[in-house]
Structure 1
Amino acid sequence: MTETSSDIQISHAPRNQWWDVWDQFRTHKGALFGLAFFVFSLMFVYLGPLFWTLDSQYIDIRARNTNHILACLGVGGGWFSPEGWAAWFRDMPACFASPEEFGRANPIYALKVSWAHPLGADQLGRDTLSRMMVGGQTSIAVGLTAMLLALFFGTLIGVVAGYFKRVDGLLMRFTDLFLAMPLLPLLLVIIMLFRDTLRNAFGPEGGIFVLIVVVIGLTSWMQTARVVRGDVLALKEREFVLAARSIGTPPWRLILRHVLPNVMSSIMVSATLGIANAIITESALSFLGLGFPSDFPTWGRLLFDATDWLSQNPERVIWPGLFISLTVLSVNYIGDGLRDALDPRIRGR
């Protein structure tokens, strides 16, 4: 007897689990917004200098303390009367379209509006847009590098503590010791002790970069270690781990082949949160004047430089503060979306 076509079943290749993760991730609107803004931030700081080629250290004396966009948005006779709104709708497009002519017609804005510096310039006349790009490169590089260092130590300690019971108590008490320390005063003390030594070894910028990355990485691994340890404690009692152990698989091979791949979801979530924490910490150190030198901009350093001019030019704190806040918020949203997408209990709904 021959088989009919109705008896033939067509088998499809199994669907990759990462497509399931993406399907769950894109249902999280906040995570999609965070991913879009983080990609925009990366393109802005790394690809932007290819199009906006003005040197961040170039000084234009005539453009000191200007801010084109905010100045144009603030034109008009006031926002609390119909006449003020009418003046705003009349003057604002002209300010953006031809700022030089608008400045000649309105002398009060003559030194504030120019497309040569769309985001304005600082007290020395250095372009804010180019400094935002260069500063973003440094801030994001610090965040990514410190995150990788913290993940390495956190994953190593978490896996060892979770898999080897004999050292679990010792490593967890060591972790608790770091968690109990006041991290910001500790960071300040370490930077004050080793800043000059590393500057002499690696240069002013390289030395402080190495110091900040190492300090943030060595004080940010504890949460990752505790999360990874909890996952390893649950995994080492699973059937596939017990089966691999019963046939004599060496511990290091069992960890690399069976344990680490199954804790990658927790590590990925910790990575996103680690980036946000590192960016905030670097910005705080730079804001306190203990970060990079004044001629090497970061977002935190731009905030610090703007504090002396806050009463005269309050808009100078807007751009670095806005990018720090939105970048950290976007990374946190990405981590929240990844946590939901990588959870099989949620993904299976």
Structure 2
Amino acid sequence: MTEAVHSSNMKADKPSSQWRDVWRQFRSHKGALLGLFIFAVILFGVLLGPYLWKFDPTYVDIRARNSGPSWSHPFGTDQLGRDLMARMMAGGQVSLAVGLTAMALSIVLGTVIGVLAGFFRRLDGVLMRLTDLFLALPLLPLLLVMVMLFREPLSRNFGPETGIFILMVTAIGATSWMQTARIVRGDVLALKEREFVLAARSIGTRPTKMIIRHILPNTLSPIMVSATLGIATAIITESSLSFLGLGFPPDFATWGRLLYDAVDQIQLYPLRVILPGAAISLTVLSVNYIGDGLRDALDPRIRGR
């Protein structure tokens, strides 16, 4: 009987896990919860919406062109009679796919460069000067040059849609890794002087194993925050390039391309500008709030309050 009571007291006193504490702190951030809900609704709409709304986003119906919102076309139609709701969902799939893939590329690049610069002293100077060089470059002109140089070769080799997708992801990911690299480097510089890393080094642990087992798991918090903010940056960059007419082909819908197509008729049909603009703004705002909530939840000084 005494042992049962003792074991029940131990279960009651058992500390909660780290991720449960993270979720509890994240839930206390009302803006992050609202951002997570909005982002989930947008994901649901663009991923599952086409299965419920079966209009072809490329179908041209000249007789229904420039129609206002109706039961058959809730968002109306464009100048070619294409259904705007279907094009919004198709455009969201492309914009979010570019944002997520470019974010993943930039996070991988930034993490690798940050870990190498922070852990290996002889590489620190070279890699940080490279990071400073990329930070000093005007990114939009650099992106425009990359698009102009590689657009045609990639389109010929992979097709218009796949080629431009590869170009967009590579261009955005290769020009947005610098902040992640600086953040990870700072964490690695602090971590490699900690007792557990010094103990692992004293027993002859190889640098590669030390990085994978001890360094990277302890840098996940800033990496996750950078990832959420990187999605927003990538979506805005893709929309900007598409708005300038340097993105996907005209018949391939993205939110930025919908803005580009509608800007000439903004006074006659303002809804065509409001819809993709609101989708971009809500997505970026919700992702930024999620990043703020993760930053607070993953900071042990705040989580312990």
TM-score, with structure 1 as normaliser: 0.85
- Alpha-carbon offset, residue 311 of structure 1: 2.1
Question: Match for residue 108 of structure 1?
Answer: none
- Alpha-carbon offset, residue 5 of structure 1: 7.4
Question: Match for residue 44 of structure 2?
Answer: 43
Gaps of 5+ in 2: none
- Alpha-carbon offset, residue 16 of structure 1: 1.8
- Alpha-carbon offset, residue 67 of structure 1: 2.5
Question: Match for residue 10 of structure 2?
Answer: 11
| Structure 1 residues 1-349: aligned runs within 5 Å | 10-12=9-11, 14-68=15-69, 114-349=70-305
Deviations 1:298-323 (A, max 9, x none): 00000000011112112210100000
Aligned partners of 1:52 and 1:167: how far apart in 2?
53
User: In the alignment, residue 64 of structure 1 is paired with which amino acid?
Assistant: R
Q: 1:299 to 1:4 in 2, by over 3 A?
A: closer
Are the counterparts in 2 of residues 146 and 216 from structure 1 also a CA contact under 8 Å? yes
Deviations 1:30-59 (A, max 9, x none): 100111111111110010000000100112
Aligned partners of 2:4 and 2:282: how far apart in 1?
58
Aligned partners of 2:6 and 2:269: how far apart in 1?
78
Aligned partners of 2:103 and 2:267: how far apart in 1?
36
Aligned partners of 2:24 and 2:277: how far apart in 1?
33
Are the counterparts in 2 of residues 63 and 120 from structure 1 also a CA contact under 8 Å? no
Structure number with larger C-alpha Rg: 1
- Alpha-carbon offset, residue 8 of structure 1: 6.5
Q: 1:62 to 1:241 in 2, by over 3 A?
A: same
- Alpha-carbon offset, residue 6 of structure 1: 6.7
Are the counterparts in 2 of residues 199 and 208 from structure 1 also a CA contact under 8 Å? yes
User: In the alignment, residue 33 of structure 2 is paired with which amino acid?
Assistant: L
Q: 1:152 to 1:6 in 2, by over 3 A?
A: closer
- Alpha-carbon offset, residue 3 of structure 1: 5.9
Q: Secondary structure of 2:176's match? A: coil
User: In the alignment, residue 28 of structure 1 is paired with which amino acid?
Assistant: H
- Alpha-carbon offset, residue 11 of structure 1: 1.8
Residues matched between the structures, number? 303
Matched-pair identity in %: 68
Which shifted more, 57-66 or 124-133?
Answer: 57-66
Q: Secondary structure of 1:54's match? A: coil
Aligned partners of 2:33 and 2:55: how far apart in 1?
32
- Alpha-carbon offset, residue 9 of structure 1: 6.2
Are the counterparts in 2 of residues 341 and 347 from structure 1 also a CA contact under 8 Å? yes
**What is the CA RMSD across the aligned residues, in angstroms?**
1.4
- Alpha-carbon offset, residue 133 of structure 1: 0.4
Q: Secondary structure of 1:47's match? A: helix
- Alpha-carbon offset, residue 336 of structure 1: 0.4
Q: 1:239 to 1:62 in 2, by over 3 A?
A: same
Aligned partners of 2:279 and 2:3: how far apart in 1?
65
Aligned partners of 2:161 and 2:8: how far apart in 1?
65
- Alpha-carbon offset, residue 61 of structure 1: 2.3
Q: 1:116 to 1:273 in 2, by over 3 A?
A: same
- Alpha-carbon offset, residue 4 of structure 1: 8.3
Q: Secondary structure of 1:297's match? A: coil
User: In the alignment, residue 262 of structure 1 is paired with which amino acid?
Assistant: N
Are the counterparts in 2 of residues 195 and 207 from structure 1 also a CA contact under 8 Å? yes
TM-score, with structure 2 as normaliser: 0.97
Are the counterparts in 2 of residues 147 and 271 from structure 1 also a CA contact under 8 Å? yes
